[in-house]
Structure 1
Amino acid sequence: MFRVSAVLLTFGLGCLSWGSTFAGYAESENGMQGLLEVEEILVKQFELYLDKAEQERDSIMRFLDYVNHLHKDMDEPEDYFGNPLNAYTIISRFANNWQHEIFDVVLAHESFTEFKQRLANELGKHELEEPTSEDLLSATRDLLDMQEIDGRATSELANDVIFADEDRGENVTLSASDCYVIGRHLCQEHQYDDATEWLLQARHHASHDASTFPNVSQLQILEHLAPALQELGNNKLANKLNNDILKSNPTHEAALKNKIALQKKLALERIHIANLKVDL
């Protein structure tokens, strides 16, 4: 009993009331049934925990493999970084992926305390000033400037081959996360036409390349895409995507507010169309 209670307290379950479940369980069929029910809960929760841990591990391994291939096949760094696409992706990796999707995930676990210290010691040997969000913003602007100068369509640029693995027969392009970051920046700059194009590309990549790294969720994309479409006056599609957000997260505060605003706009549009038909 002590060991079980200790484990439950460790996982924050000590606040539950076990009195009715365990009192006299050895003499009670109901008490034994209660133990089975508790075990079912524990099995389910630990399975979810292990599934998540496995997903995190697989995601990290994909990213490490991806970076290893990039470094292995980089012959001329000067030529490589002369392409704004390549410059953007490496800055994006440091400003976003290494920190938020690798270090934050790995170092959040207490079992990695020793690893954290060892990593800090190793990093301390190198005087490296990591790229910031401002650096990523600058790289994004360079990339968008190149797109405008060359007159390239967003769909073409988003699917341009950055790295080709002949052994695997795979081509690496901008990821869903890359397209999302660009679209998010354009939303912040109120350039909603271009933002919508990049966010749609992010959604496309996230749907078709779900097993690739870096990760970005459909919810994250929709949180910017739906408002951008609303700003462009495409209220019908904005409302549909906003409803998709609420299906994923029924308590999403911004989506709940947008739902009211979009329903009003759609109602006014229907009234306007009805009046036009009457006039005709």
Structure 2
Amino acid sequence: MTAAMLTLAVALAVINIIRIQAEVYSSFAHLERSLQAEQSLAKDIKDYIKQEKVRLEKLERAAEEYEQHSKAALANSESFMGNPINAYLFMKRFTTDWADLSHLLQEDHSYDLLANFEEIRNKGFLPQLVDLQGAAAALMRLQDTYNLNTSEIASGILQGVKRSPGLSAFDCFYFGKYAYNQSDYYHTLLWMQEALNRLPFEPDSPIDRITILDYLTFATFKQGNVRHALLLANEMLQIDPENERALQNKRYFLSNLEESDQPMTIENKRPHRGVRDEEYENYEKLCRGDSIKPFKTPKRTHKLTCSYETNKSPNLLLRPFKVEVLYHSPKIVMWHDVLSEVEMKKVKELATPRLNRATVHNPVTGKLEFAEYRVSKSVFLDSDIDPVVEVISQRIADITGLDMSTAEGLQVANYGMGGQYEPHFDFARRRETHAFSDAIGNRIATVLFYMTDVEAGGATVFPKLGVKVFPKKGSAAFWYNLRRSGIGDYRTRHAACPVLSGAKWVCNKWLHERGQELRRTCSTNPKE
């Protein structure tokens, strides 16, 4: 009984008592009837109290669960929320699962609490539906890149280690439905089948078998498995012989089979990526830690070295930097222990309140825009924002010997769930004529600092070279994007692999051509 209903009941009871009281003095029977009305009113109030207790107990359990969850997560937030399953379940808590709790809060005196929640969510402090959808897309991206088994993901197992609670049949259905709405029938099949496998063990699941089969049937057909789709349609009809969609599908599948003699095979192939298939395959292999043959076999792989260097800089004489050569041509090196804990902490503190979704430069329109192949949040920090940013800039100048006057600000990036940046160039190609002004020129070099160790995934890879660089806190990767002739070095095409588990913070500095004329001498040889 709601508060409004109780109010109405009390009002009617009181009106009834008033009417009876007008005549109670003349009849004991009427007085007794008034007592019965009072008894009825007492029962209504007790019933209301009982329902309120149930409601409040549910709210208390929810509050206790939220408190325990946040306490455990905040003890090591990067590790906890760096787990994609934990991140998804957290987003689900405040999106699709919120409806049940919201219903409880809408009753009685809970409007203020509900309004407070909505205000917090509208300010962007809590996940919304778009975040849940992004989490679904990220999980499938991780699944593909790292060859993760659907059933293991649903059980909270990543790369053989159970890292989080498992997913329900409804969670699996949600992933399958999201993929279906994106016309991604490959993942629809994987997740709908997993939902079907888990359903018998969840008698109270909000999803039913025939709904899952409906999606599974169409996705199976779209993947070219007509005979198996027919079997699924027949299974739907066993549950509901009058199901119109199943009847229509069955007729359509039978007509297709009459026109072709398709074997009884079940195939579920990933969709093609066109001409990028080979590059993307190498990219994913490197992300997984596999080795691949480079586009052109280098002559001096056996001469990769580690050394202490000063680059003749007076600032480095007492503290030379550690350099590891990862590749000779183009030269890719790793600087070790070049950022301190204090510096990294300060950079993250400066960046966190300023982070925005990272953009890419569209070579056709010349505009910056969001893209699914770059998933992270970033911000540029100028040297005058804090002394530590200027110190880092000066350190880059000392180590490289390059001029920093035309360099871009320090870009800080934080990769969230499944965060990645697919294969790309840092330099502007000839057709991108308006990417950079003539006053600064093209991006001649890249310095990429790693500010966290990543539990799993998150490597920087060069698909054409077979080079993979795994994040090491306090270290930095360095390479030239342009040849000495000023032509872009297409071998430096690189990517940031999706973060499988953990948090990834990086900051990078792009150095430009202008000012380097006497520091990195030019050449007329296009191959240098």
Same fold by TM-score, threshold 0.5 exceeded? Answer: yes
| Aligned-residue offset at 1:196 | 0.7
- Deviations along 1:182-224, one digit per CA (max 9) or x if unpaired, are 11122222222222111111111112x2146x63221221121
| Residues 140-219 of structure 1 aligned to structure 2 (within 5 Å) | 140-161=136-157, 172-207=165-200, 209-211=201-203, 215-219=206-210
Which deviates the most, 86-95 or 123-132? Answer: 123-132
Q: Deviations over 1:142-190 (max 9, x none)?
A: 212222232212222122259xxxxxxxx83111111111111222222
Give the distance between the partners of 1:66 and 1:221, measured in 2 at CA.
Answer: 33
Structure 2: tracts of 5 or more residues without a match:
1-54, 159-163, 264-528
Change beyond 3 A, Cα 1:73–1:257: same
CA-to-aligned-CA distance 1:103-149 (integer Å, 9 cap, x gap): 58xx4xxxx8x962433222223432164332211111221222223
Corresponding letter in the other structure for 1:140: A
Give the corresponding residue for 1:97: 97
Matched, 1:266 2:257: yes
Write the distance in 1 (CA, Å) between the matches of 2:110 and 2:92: 21
**Normalising by structure 1, what TM-score?**
0.58
The one-letter code sitting in structure 2 at the alignment partner of 1:259 is K
- Give the % identical residues: 26
> Are the counterparts in 1 of residues 140 and 187 from structure 2 also a CA contact under 8 Å?
no
Letter in 1 for 2:96: N
Q: Does 1:123 align with 2:119?
A: no
Q: Identify if the C-alpha distance between structure 1 residues 175 and 237 changes in structure 2 by more than 3 Å, giving closer, same or farther.
A: same
Q: 1:76 to 1:240 in 2, by over 3 A?
A: same
| Matching residue within 228, 244, 260 for 1:253 | 244
Q: Give the distance between the partners of 1:139 and 1:198, measured in 2 at CA.
A: 14
Distance 1:198 1:95 in 2: 20
Give the drift of 1:71.
5.3
Structure 1 residues 257 and 132, CA gap change in structure 2 (3 angstroms) = farther
Kindly indicate which of the two structures has a greater share of residues assigned to strand. 2
**Equivalent residue letter for 2:89:** T
- The 1:247/1:133 distance shift into structure 2, 3 A limit, reads farther
User: Match of 1:6?
Assistant: none
Bigger CA radius of gyration: 2
State the AA in 1 paired with 2:224.
Answer: G
Distance 1:179 1:250, change over 3 A: same
CA contact (8 A) 2:85 2:165 kept: no
Q: Does the aligned pair in 1 maintain the 2:106–2:114 contact within 8 Å?
A: no
Q: 1:201 to 1:65 in 2, by over 3 A?
A: farther
| Closer, same or farther: CA 64–215 of 1 in aligned 2, 3 Å | farther
Query: In the aligned structure 2, how far is the partner of 1:200 from the partner of 1:249?
Result: 20
- 2:81 aligned with 1:81, yes or no? yes
CA RMSD after TM alignment: 3.4
How far apart, CA to CA, are the structure 2 residues paired with 1:67 and 1:202?
Answer: 26
SS of 2:107 mapped into structure 1: helix
**Which whole-Å CA distance do the structure 1 matches of 2:130 and 2:91 have between them?**
10
> What do residues 202-249 of structure 1 show as CA deviations (whole Å, max 9, x unaligned)?
111112x2146x632212211211101111222222122222323333
Supply the distance in 1 between the matched residues of 2:87 and 2:236 (Cα, whole angstroms).
33
Cα distance in 1 for residues equivalent to 2:212 and 2:175? 11
Q: Which amino acid aligns with 2:251?
A: I
CA shift in 2, pair 1:88/1:122, >3 Å:
same
CA offset at residue 66 of structure 1?
A: 11
1:246-267 CA-to-partner distances (Å, cap 9, x unmatched) read 3333443322321211121233
Deviations 1:48-94 (A, max 9, x none): xxxxxxxxx9xx89x96995675575442332111122111121233
